[in-house]
Structure 1
Amino acid sequence: MSLHSLDLSWNRLFSVKQKSFSALPSLSKLDLSSNQLSSLPLTGLESLTHLRLAGNDQLMESLPREDLPRVRLMELPYYFQCCAFISCERRGEGGGLWWEREEASHPTGRDSSSPADQDWEDFLLEFEDEPKPQRSVHCSPTPGPFRPCLHLLGSWMIRGGVWLIAAISLVSNSLVVLSVFLSPLSSVTPPKLLIGLLALVNGLMGVWSGWLAAVDAWTFGSFWRFGVKWDSSFPCRLSGFLCLFASQTGLFLLTAATLERCLWSGAAVRSDRPDGRSGCLLTPPAVRLSICICFLLGVTVSLPPVITGNTSTSFCLLLPSSSSSSLAFAVSLVLLDSLCFLIMTLAYIRLYCRSNKAPPTSDEEVALTRHVAWLLFSDCLLYLPVASLSFSSLLRLPVAGPEVAKGILLLVAPLPACINPLLYLLFNPLAREELAALTTHTCTGVATKRQGAAGGEQLDLTCGDDDAEKQSCDSTQALVVFGGGREEEEGGGRGSRKMKTSEAFDALQH
């Protein structure tokens, strides 16, 4: 048959038989988009130049390039299936608004009567006489920095930065949690409770960075083979939840800590007490209630990507796109974060204005207030590039290219999880004292246990020596008794012999 074009889109096809296209040697255009295919036999499609498979979400397998030697234009369900048809030099090239290019390149299914068919014909006529070695394949959706083919993290600079952030975040936040909750030096006050929980939440950001680093190492050089399964897997959605939950809950806890410091300062001024504690308006039950609200807000904000299962990148994060739901979610996050930083800034400005009126306070309270101020300053500075990237995506402004956006997402956004605990450990003398006390207490406990074990062994050895000595004494006594008996027997024998001898001598005399 001389059939050149075949359109089978929107037919709810579940499967295609192995040799369905063998009788169509002249087939050059095949449209199977918006069906439910899970596999596609390529037998008899050697002359195919145009192939549409967009909308077949169950089709996750890669198509071998050698089975489609003449293909020039492809529309596939997933980004990673195009990696076999696009040269490494062209993967992810270009700048500008990467989210617009990816959304534009993602097919949604077209009607067969649309002008795209005429474009296909023109494209085919334009390249019909092109020599085979110079042919280039136009495949969509196109891979890029956020949908990589070879390496998830890309460059070695980003890879090393992600590993460093994961290690520092996990170690430093663990030290802060230990110093706050396990130190015998001081009790857990409301501001220390907030700082300890902030460190615990920041540690989850380190878990996310470590998770991405582990996936990059596991799929090193061949990420496209696992990209489809990774993007649609539950571990990917869970890692995205951890990242978003850590960033948002950490921001809410920092806001609660800032408000607690502001209320404490106001109460200290009104109470006119040196310690400034008894007049605090934010009681421990109120602090616990605010902590519960922060965690509930964090879970509520972080659940949509897990429920929908749609992510814009292979880093399992829901970034702005052309869809209304994604755009509304991104706008809500940006506005909510900006509101939190505005509230914290106003609260600390008010606290600074009251600082001259407040009575002298304890060193611990001053150190905690200074630490929260450092956290606010550093997190606000690190939020600026993230906010600029978000606003540029919302306003469709080409502020940053895809590589810069990837660096901000992987290296700048998780930085508060590293800087927050380091500020507490390095610039707060109370933290160093707590860690030293915890170390001393731990070492003392270990030494006491060892001494107790050594004392038990020494007691056992002493008891063993006493038993041996008692047995030796018994043996000696037995030997003495036995020797005395023999001497008595020998003495008695000698006496009887002497008596017998004297009797015999007397008999001889008579």
Structure 2
Amino acid sequence: LSVFPYSDLSMNNITKLPSNPVHNLRFLEELRLAGNGLTYIPKGAFAGLFSLKVLMLQNNQLRQVPTEALQNLRSLQSLRLDANHINYVPPNCFNGLVSLRHLWLDDNSLTEIPVEAFRSLPALQAMTLALNKIHYIPDYAFGNLSSLVVLHLHNNRIYSLGKKCFDGLHSLETLDLNYNSLDEFPTAIRTLTNLKELGFHSNNIKSIPERAFVGNPSLITIHFYDNPIQLVGKSAFQHLPELRTLTLNGASQITEFPDLTGTTSLESLTLTGAQITSLPKSACDQLPNLQVLDLSYNLLEDLPCFTACKKLQKIDLHHNEIGEIKADTFRQLAALRSLDLAWNKIKIIHPNAFSSLPSLIKLDVSSNLLSSFPVTGLHGLTHLKLTGNHALQSLISSENFPELKVMEMPYAYQCCAFGACESHYKISSQWNKDENSSIDDFHRKDAGLLQIQDEREFEDFFLDFEEDLKAHHSVQCSPSPG
């Protein structure tokens, strides 16, 4: 028995431990006591466990950290105290745990950070204090945790941070402040020079200041959605060379496109629901690696040339005030696959506007003011939306769209050029024969088209039908004639 490296006593309705129950298990490396009814652990309960590396005490009824029982577990690397009722962490409770790397204190009843208790954990690399009742983080709260890499503080009641609360966290790479009550941007993060992932979504933050992340050049990911952010400093996201994704929805007071100097690795940029009226001509010079651009629901009137954004694959510009697409607007975007220009005021599209887009397969110019539509360069399209352009009454030849699978036209008669007038009922009958519910599914999805939002809008909706359409070698054109 003394040579067993592992012992699982979880879920055994144990309510009490004797003072010397496992003293002879000197080679034991992992002890599981989770899911019992322990309210107290006496001194000496783990005496003699010189090799113990993992101790699991989660899901019990403990009200404070068992200080005396934990003394001198010098080999302990992982300690789970989560899902108890702990409301007090004694100042010296972790003394002697010189090897501890992972500490779980989440899902307890803590109301403050146990600053003194954390001063004796030099090897700690990951800690979670999430799902507690902590409301404030004082200065130097984690001052001695120089090895800490991951810190979770989400789902607390934190409304305020000391300006130096994160001082000393020289190795921190992940900080989670999501689901708290912060009213102001956490400027204390500026001391975290190695921070790579930051989350402060689902708070009450209303603005992001100028140079907000000036001390965090290693940031790769920032999560800050579900905040009532209205104002963002123009320089807020400068000099973040590792940042890959930036998403900001509904910042209604933003009137200028942000200065993204030095943020050269950005691959996805979403700035929707703002009041941006124009884009700088140098926007693409700052974003050479951009693949996805979403500027929908703004007030854009004119567009610059996007040629320098050579890696762009998807552009969403729907719901703006754009009036014209020039010859060079999208010139030589060889990787562009999806372009959404719906719900603008476009009257004119230059005949060669789409002539150098060899990868374009999805184009939406619905609900504009077009009276003519250029077809040059669109031979690879599989999905096309022109509905809502009431002045566009001419027929469009199917010869210009040999790959087209799905399209929406302003008028039903325009679908005749794609064989819809002759084959509509035949195809419907065939679909009924091949798949009992395919037509019902189609109508359900068709009726919900305008409700599809964000990244499923238009592009992903039509992808659902692509395989079926290939099988029938037919163009699905709406509105259906007859």
TM over 0.5, shorter chain: no
Structure with greater helix percent:
1
| Higher-RCO chain (CA-CA 8 Å, sequence separation at least 6) | 1
Higher strand share: 2
Larger Rg: 1
TM-score norm. by structure 1 comes to: 0.28
